[in-house]
Amino acid sequence: MHRRRSHWTAMLAMAGALLLSACTASGTVAQPAPRPDWSAADMPSQAGRIFVVTGGTSGIGLESARALAAAGAEVIIAARNPQRGEEAIAGIRQQSPGANVRFEALDLGDLASVHALGNRLAASLPRLDGLINNAGVMEPPQRDITPDGFESQFAINYLGHFALTADLLPLLRKSDAPRVVTLSSIAARRGALHFDDLQFEREWDTAAAYRQSKLACLMFARELQRRSDAQGWGITSIASHPGLSRTNLLPSQGRSTPLWRFFQTAERGAVPTLYAATAQDAQGGRYYGPTGLLEARGALGHARVPDAATDAEAAARLWDVSETLSGVHYPSGTAE
């Protein structure tokens, strides 16, 4: 219990620092901004479009799946727990009778599970119009290792999504306007890539490992767009973050604190992701999130990209390392 309280105290300190300190991330260049009051109600019809949402049984993923289904999309919730999947589907159908939504088992910490889902979807779908890389874990109290031998936050938040996107790329390329949305976090601002110890084997730091995983997600989203442009894949890749939102990602003992009341609802936190996934004005390679105090909450807009995420050499190195670790390889040529 003492370790859990100490862990939450450290989290509160980190969040408080974000709220009370000046932002040190680099600014964005001038570019068309989203309408600040854009909401899920402004989504164009998604009828006939097919989406996969990882971690769609709770939090931002569930709100994203709910809104997409309400807009007419076929939604595949990919997550670990079938019971929670059925509960999520029942809730969505209660709100949107006749919603076209189903569950597929996926453990992002197990590459065999990732590839199995890719194979099932390749055999059952005509194409894929959108992939929302949403699932994640945050700051476990001890260093957890996945079946493939990777630190759990790096594996689940980042590497599993890197591999899943590669597996689903052929289906995405069959769409007339495919999008991949990858969720990062305001924690990425303080993140760094520890290439000499990506799995934190030498010195375990749960917060640093989380920040690394979310920085990697942001760098992946940007690098995917660069490679899509260079190779002619036709993919629009966008990053988003939900600010500070009330989701199951955070420890339960912190939900009665004053800081918890400051957090956005999960429904509001899903707005940047939904904008990135559906809005006609959303642009590839961009990063969307709240624009209030230190981007913790507030109106939709361009999120600040940390300096570390703009390092093209590091992004290319991360990509190469990720292919080696995951065993997946993205195509090097254009589509026929």
Domain contains 64: yes
Please report the pLDDT score of residue 16 as a whole number: 47
Pull the structure tokens for residue 258. Answer: 């004053």
The pTM (predicted TM-score) of the whole model is: 0.89
| Angstrom distance (rounded) from CA 1 to CA 87 | 30
Domain residues for the domain of 110 are 47-326
Q: Name the nearest CA neighbour of 311 among 191, 199, 230.
A: 191
Residue 130 lies in a domain: yes
Taking alpha carbons only, the member of 289, 315, 282, 259 closest to residue 25 is 289
Angle formed at CA 248 by CA 247 and CA 250, multiple of 5 degrees: 85
Tokens of 111: 């590459």
Contact 91, 63 (CB under 8 A): no
* Residue 22 resides in a domain: no
Position 310 scores a pLDDT of: 98
Do the domain assignments include residue 247? yes
Number of domains in the chain: 1
Residue type, 195: F
Q: pLDDT truncated to tens, each residue of the chain (336 aa)? A: 334 444 444 444 444 444 433 333 444 445 788 999 999 999 999 999 999 999 999 999 999 999 999 999 999 999 999 999 999 999 999 999 999 999 999 999 999 999 999 999 999 999 999 999 999 999 999 999 999 999 999 999 999 999 999 999 999 999 999 999 999 999 999 999 999 999 999 999 999 999 999 999 999 999 999 999 999 999 999 999 999 865 666 554 445 556 656 678 888 999 999 999 999 999 999 999 999 888 988 999 999 999 999 999 999 999 999 999 999 999 985 443
* Best CA proximity match to 115, nearest among 155, 168, 152: 168
Per DSSP bridges, beta strands 74-79 and 50-54 are: parallel
Position 38 in a domain: no
Q: Within a domain: residue 202?
A: yes
The full DSSP string for 170-199 is: HHHTTSSS-EEEEE--GGGGG----TT-TT
Tokens encoding 132: 């929302």
155 lies in some domain: yes
> Residue 158 catalytic?
no
Query: Which CATH number goes with the domain that contains 199?
Result: 3.40.50.720
Residue 282: predicted pLDDT: 97
Q: Considering the domain boundaries, does residue 75 fall inside one?
A: yes
